[in-house]
Each structure stands twice: as C-alpha cells, then as structure tokens.
Amino acid sequence: MAERKRPLLFGAIADDLTGGSELAAMLVARGVPTSFATSAEADIPSASLAHVIALKTRVIPAQDAVDLVLGAARRLLSAGCDQVFFKYCATFDSTPAGNIGPCAEALADLLDAKMVLFCPALCETQRTVFQGYMFGGSQILAESPKRFDPLTPMTDSNIVRVLAAQSRSRVGLVAHPVVDRGAEAIVKHCENLTGEGVRFAVTDTIYERDLASIAEAAAPMPLLTGNASVAAHLPTSWRRGGKLAWPEAAALPGVEGPAVVLAGSVAPRTAEQLAHFGRHNEVVTIDLGRVMEGEDLLASALASADRAIGAGQAIAIATMAPQDEVERLQGKYGRDVVARAAEDFLTGLAQRLIFERGVRRLVIAGGETAGAIVPKLPVARFIVGPYQGLGTGRMVAEMPFPVALMLKSGKLGGLDVFSAVLDEMRRPVRIEPYLEQWPPQARTQ
C-alpha cells in the first residue's frame, strides 16, 4: 500500500452502494479527492482526502450489519480519518430492529462520541424533517409509497420515535427554530441535550441552508450520520479551517461498448423510468414467480440482450412485479428469499453480460441490487465522476477493461435517466468544483 501523502479528512460508511456512490460523487464535485470501495479491505489511495466504503447492510441481520460497519470504521481510522460519516437513505429506510440505530450506536461507542446528529433530509427532492416528522413534499412519510416498500416499509413518520425503537441511547430533537438560528445555536442546543443525557438527536431540516448549518455545527464531531446531502456541505467548513486549500477538478473517461440497464428496484419511480426507456428500447421483465419456482430464465434474458447488442441498441432487464404479486411471493417464500432470488438472477446475468457479451456501459437500478452485483465483480479500483444532479452519478470500474457504471437509487432520477446516462457514458467528463452554490441549480428559499 502506498504511503499516505496527507491525512484522510473524512471517511464514510454507506449502508448501500447507490447512496455511497452518490456521496462520493458529491464530494468529488466539491473538489475533494475522493475514492470509493465496496469493502473495508480495499486499499485507500494515498492521494485521497475522503474515502467512501459502500456496504450492503441495510436489511441484513443487525449484528451482521454492526460487524461490517465497525470493520469499515476501523479501516478508516487506521488511515488517520478525522471524522466518520454513516450514510443512510433520505427516507430513513430501516425496520424497528434496525439497522440504523444499532450501527450508529456501535460507531458512537467506538469513536467515544458524546452527541451524534441524524440528518436524513434531502432538500433537492423535498424530503424534509419538521418537528421530527419526515415529509416527501406535502406528503407525510407513512402516507407515501414508502409504506409499501417490500424490504423496509416506513409506517411511522416520526424519525425520533423510529430511531428510539432501534436504539439504547436516549433520542432527542434539534427543532427547526434552533436550526434556523445557525450553527452556533445548534452546537449550544446539543450541549444542553448532552447534559440531559441525550446522545442521539434528529435534526429538523427544511431548506438547503439548514443542511449547511447542520454540517458546520457537526464538522468537529467525530461522528455524523445522515443522507449524503448534509455531507456535501462539509467541504465548506474544511476550507474555512484550512484543511482543504486547493479544490481539484474531476475527470471521468468516456467508455464505448454495448449498454444494458439492470433493474431490481420495485420503486414506482423506477417503473416510470423503465416505461419511458421502453418507448425506444426493449424492456424485458423477468417473472419473479417463475424464478421462484425454479425455472431457468437466464437463457431467454441473454438471448434478448444478444438481439439488442447485435442491433446496436440498449436494453433493460428488470425483475419487477406488481405490488400484490410481490406480497403474494413474500407470503409464500419469505421476504428475504424473494429478494435474494431476484438479486442472484441479476448478479449472474450481469457477469455473463460483461464477460461474455462485452457490455461496457451498465446502469443498475436499486440499492440492494447494486449491492449484490458490484462487489462480485473483479474491480481493481473505481474512478468516481462528479455529481451532476440526482440519479446521474457516474463512475468507471477498472477491471481488465473499463466498465462505465451508474448505480441509481430506485426512488431517484429524471424520467429519461437511463437513455441519457448511457449516452453520456460515451463522453469524458471534466467539471470544475462547485465552491459556493450547492446543490447545483438548487431551489433556494
């Protein structure tokens, strides 16, 4: 391993790959040299100031998730990391048993953190928190489509209450009147909460400026948790403190070759994106029920891909089903068994497509799906591209050959994201860092 040229300012542990890749892209766009890995064992490049370890821990047994997260944290600390960030979804995807609370608690113990802030909001998509309750626009979380999530149905909108159910630590709230007064007020309120025996605090977040204030208040803390959007504001504090003097432009090489979309997400947004993609491209839907019954559908999926590749066209292959069919399969086989069957199918398909069919441009929709596919690829390193907007984060995986990747959250991205990104992957990207305005072209209030 190369000797480090400078200390690692920031180390992040993400509970899925799509969110981890988005966080890395945000830091790259802010001029922070950032590396990305899918395991704690991967080397941390000597030139990196930030390193993101993206794991698949969101819905595995809580103790297994804790063990993986602690292993990643120890790896980051061994590289001289100043601050650890635990990244999770903007809708706080979890169950009453975890895994956000148990993992955060284990990290807080490891880092001897007296106060830990929880900031899941993503203001770009109007996912906000007020009085501890999460909203998607004007819709409260428990009344949104998230209540039907097949893996982490969110039926309680009160994030303070959800976190308390998962944690031993006492949970409090940094309400919006405090957040609105800025970083100093947040710090003072956290000191008061600590004095009352509170260790975890959910932050109300309505506007982008709230994220900036929370990041400034949390910059000296050994541990911060939340969505990637709050971490994107940390580089401003690093520059003010003289830790990040020279922002660096980001570059990503273009990649030619056959293009495929693999979708394991059952989110309504992904279904809309697939329908839009299908106007000009073939979309193959794999019948999960037939997969569960042991039928081998891999050959027919590959045959469809062969036809598209031969015609010079992109293709999407999805393991999706209507909500009632998903519920029927889960009732018959079990939630985890159904999810694993879909992931195993797409993982085997991805390997065949890349190594036998020469696919070099690949979009993977769904965090759990990406977490199943990518770690099983023989990637030497990832080159992270700069963030250009929700659902458009890109990277290049260096194997014996380069493969352009986009790992897309099931819930995010524009309607035409699949076609647009597959086309953009052909061209190299170089973007100068965003130093002031964040996010790019964000709504300001």
Q: Mean of the pLDDT values across residues 163-190?
A: 97
What does the domain layout of the chain look like in residue ranges? 10-250, 253-431
| pLDDT per residue as tens digits for the range 58-70 | 989 999 999 999 9
Q: Are strands 429-431 and 250-252 parallel, antiparallel or unpaired?
A: antiparallel
| pLDDT per residue as tens digits for the range 91-149 | 999 988 889 999 999 999 999 999 999 999 999 889 999 999 999 888 998 888 888 77
**Amino acid letter at 119?**
C
Q: Mean of the pLDDT values across residues 211-240?
A: 95
CA distance 41 to 51: 13
Residues β-bridged to residue 36: 52
Q: Is the pLDDT of residue 17 over 60?
A: yes
CATH numeric code, 253-431: 3.40.980.20
Q: Mean of the pLDDT values across residues 270-299?
A: 90
Banded pLDDT at 398 (limits 50, 70, 90): very high
Q: Is the pLDDT of residue 2 over 50?
A: no
392 or 29, higher pLDDT: 29
Q: Is the CB of residue 224 less than 8 Å from the CB of residue 231?
A: yes
Positive/negative CA dihedral, 6, 105, 172, 119: positive
Q: What is the pLDDT of residue 290?
A: 86
CA distance 182 to 187: 9
Both structure tokens of 393: 């984060």
> In 10 A of CB 82, how many CB atoms?
17
Q: What is the pLDDT of residue 176?
A: 98
Burial class (CB within 10 angstroms; exposed 0-12, middle 13-18, buried 19+) of 177:
exposed
Q: Is the pLDDT of residue 303 over 90?
A: yes
Q: Is the pLDDT of residue 155 over 90?
A: no
Residues β-bridged to residue 126: none
pTM for the model stands at 0.89
Q: Is the pLDDT of residue 318 over 80?
A: yes
Banded pLDDT at 391 (limits 50, 70, 90): low
Q: Is the pLDDT of residue 357 over 80?
A: yes
Q: What is the pLDDT of residue 445?
A: 34
294 or 9, higher pLDDT: 9
| pLDDT per residue as tens digits for the range 277-286 | 999 999 999 9
Q: Is the pLDDT of residue 442 over 70?
A: no
Q: What is the pLDDT of residue 145?
A: 81
CATH numeric code, 10-250: 3.40.50.10840
* Nearest partner of 346 among 283, 298, 394, judged by Cα: 298
